[in-house]
Structure 1
Amino acid sequence: MMNLKKIISIFSLAFILVLAGCGAQMTSEKTAQNPEYIASDATGAKIELDAKPKKIVSLIPSNTEILYRLGVGENVVGVTSSDDYPAEVKNVPIVATTEINVEKIIGMKPDLVLGHASMMSYNKDAYDQIKKANIPLFVVADAQDFDAAYKTFTQIGDLTGKTKEAEKLISSMKATDKSSRKEAAKKVQTKAKVWLEISPDLYTAGKDTFINEMLTNIEATNIVSETGYPQYSEEQVIKAAPDVIITIYPNAKQEIAKRSAWKNIPAVKNNRIYEVDPSIVSRPGPRLIEGQEALFNAIYPTNRYILNETIADFSF
């Protein structure tokens, strides 16, 4: 017959095992209830993923650039026809042109689809169909300044398990931005007045845009005082008499040369018309600082500098 001490020991062991089982169950439930990969999107929806997404669809080029810069490019399985950077993206299947191919996306069974607030009005039906298929859709906010872009990097980093990489990218970009401002303040004696032409019909960039923030950061003056992307008249540009004209569409210099009324604008008289890659000055992605550098070197060519030599290693 077992002694009392032995009986107590057996019951104690059984009780501990029961507690351990309950603890494991509680831990499992806690994990299920609190996914590790969480972010709230532009619509206010909270996206919660239980695991790192292995298959991601990106529905705007800036999101694609962020994914690649954070080191999850190999997980991108679908992009748009406008995606052109980095070079590897050319090998990724296209799931959207002027319209989103919802059937193709659903057939891919992605773990995450990254949409964009700027496309909501055009793609609402497509976004709704993707959600109805129980595919996580995160609508990225339409960032129009550096801080908002940094928030996007953080959100995408959180959703893809690349939070630390996002933090490092943001820190590096902020350091480079600080250096470029300091460099510009030191080298620029007289601020140049700049007209930035987005299209031949004289759409431009005003306040609350990346372009305006970049011009301010590099000690240049945007002749546009309105907010957003207004359309100007020839008379407005002529009256403002810009020292430099920056364009972001092909063959703009030839287009401007046809405007006889512009011949006395300082920028035209002095042949100060420059084309800049639109993808680095308007996409809210990791190359914004490169866009700022490109604008500085175009507007102040005698004070050229290369940021990559002074700061910022963006590699991980």
Structure 2
Amino acid sequence: MPPLRLASLTCSNTDILHALGVTRQLVAVDSHSDGPGLEHAARLGPDLNIDVDALIAARPDLVLASLSVPGMEHVVDAVQAAGLPTLILDPISVPGVLHDIRVVGAATGMPERAQGVADALERDLSALHRAYERPPRVLVEWWPRPIIAATRDSWVTDLLDGLGAVNALADRAGRSTPLTLDEVRAARPDLIVCSWCGAKKLRPDVIEARGLGVPVVAIHESGLGRPGPRLLEGARQLRAALDALPGHP
């Protein structure tokens, strides 16, 4: 049987397929997916504005979507209405990410490879753990105006917990929330992470200019905003930032 023709509508799915070694099977991807070996794939536009007609023309055997992107539901509805076989991922935790890697592996005929990728990611994340007398409180900011940050039901919460830190907004339900400056202050973060989704340039100076007196570090959304193997990149950068905090050696 010939290899499956695959399409990915979000960066996180594409990253998983990269890790599984099936990049060449991608016939179509969203415009933000990056990494090597995608030159042959049709570009479908931004993840929230997928060109469904172009997707149909690419003739995929399986389309990988993800509800981890807020607002992706309408795209998924359009793809399914077109009759295309669709695998929908929706992780909100690190265990959920590991599970989805295995699900994608099973769907693409590479379960053993996927198990290895998931096991390695879990092992490498665990190796980054530190024990603190007082776990640092971290606020991960997805957008600056209005301020939007990761809340309890986000893989960010697990990722920080695994590092020995805590999500400063872990007491707020949901995946993310808009915040006033007073609400940021009330969250008492020891560190603010600038990880703006879709931004061409990260501007930690914008956050610093708010006058909160809290250290700010910039981590590209590819390391924190994509629930897939590249969370390890973000975790390593977080580890370095946490280790540099005063009073948190």
How far apart, in 2, do the equivalents of 1:54 and 1:139 lie? 13
Which TM-score applies when normalising by structure 1?
Answer: 0.68
User: Any conservation in 2 of the 1:253–1:273 contact (CA below 8 Å)?
Assistant: yes
Name which of 144, 162, 174 aligns with 2:92. 144
The equivalences for 1:19-38 within 5 A come to none
User: Any conservation in 2 of the 1:52–1:161 contact (CA below 8 Å)?
Assistant: no
Name which of 222, 231, 238 aligns with 1:295. 238
Name which of 120, 131, 152 aligns with 1:172. 120
Residue number in structure 2 paired with 1:26: none
Shift of 1:67: 1.0
SS at match of 2:151: coil
How far apart, in 2, do the equivalents of 1:109 and 1:195 lie? 42
Residue number in structure 2 paired with 1:111: 61
**Matched AA of 2:223:** I
**Matched AA of 1:138:** T
Shift of 1:251: 4.1
User: Any conservation in 2 of the 1:143–1:284 contact (CA below 8 Å)?
Assistant: yes
Residue number in structure 2 paired with 1:235: 182
SS at match of 2:177: coil
Residue ranges of structure 1 left out of the alignment (5+ in a row): 1-50, 304-316
User: Any conservation in 2 of the 1:59–1:116 contact (CA below 8 Å)?
Assistant: yes
Q: CA offsets per residue over residues 200-223 of structure 1, 9 Å max, x none?
A: 121111112111111111122322
**Matched AA of 2:189:** P
Moved over 4 A (4+): none
User: Any conservation in 2 of the 1:192–1:244 contact (CA below 8 Å)?
Assistant: yes
User: Any conservation in 2 of the 1:195–1:245 contact (CA below 8 Å)?
Assistant: yes
Residue number in structure 2 paired with 1:226: 172
CA 1:291/1:253 → structure 2, altered by over 3 Å: closer, same or farther?
Answer: closer
User: Any conservation in 1 of the 2:93–2:157 contact (CA below 8 Å)?
Assistant: no
User: Any conservation in 2 of the 1:80–1:96 contact (CA below 8 Å)?
Assistant: yes
Shift of 1:229: 0.4
CA 1:194/1:114 → structure 2, altered by over 3 Å: closer, same or farther?
Answer: closer
SS at match of 2:119: helix
Residue number in structure 2 paired with 1:258: 209
Aligned residue pair count? 235
CA 1:258/1:120 → structure 2, altered by over 3 Å: closer, same or farther?
Answer: same
- Greater helix percent: which structure? 1
User: Any conservation in 2 of the 1:281–1:288 contact (CA below 8 Å)?
Assistant: yes
How far apart, in 2, do the equivalents of 1:253 and 1:114 lie? 33
Aligned-pair identity (%): 24
How far apart, in 2, do the equivalents of 1:162 and 1:170 lie? 12
The worse-fitting range, judged by mean Cα deviation, of 194-203 and 99-108 is 99-108
How far apart, in 2, do the equivalents of 1:146 and 1:277 lie? 18
Residue number in structure 2 paired with 1:39: none
Residue ranges of structure 2 left out of the alignment (5+ in a row): none
Residue number in structure 2 paired with 1:5: none
CA 1:141/1:123 → structure 2, altered by over 3 Å: closer, same or farther?
Answer: closer
How far apart, in 1, do the equivalents of 2:183 and 2:57 lie? 51
Which TM-score applies when normalising by structure 2?
Answer: 0.85
The worse-fitting range, judged by mean Cα deviation, of 285-294 and 70-79 is 285-294
Q: CA offsets per residue over residues 69-101 of structure 1, 9 Å max, x none?
A: 1111111111001112x2322552202334322
1:273 aligns with 2:216: yes
Residue number in structure 1 paired with 2:81: 128
Residue number in structure 1 paired with 2:20: 70
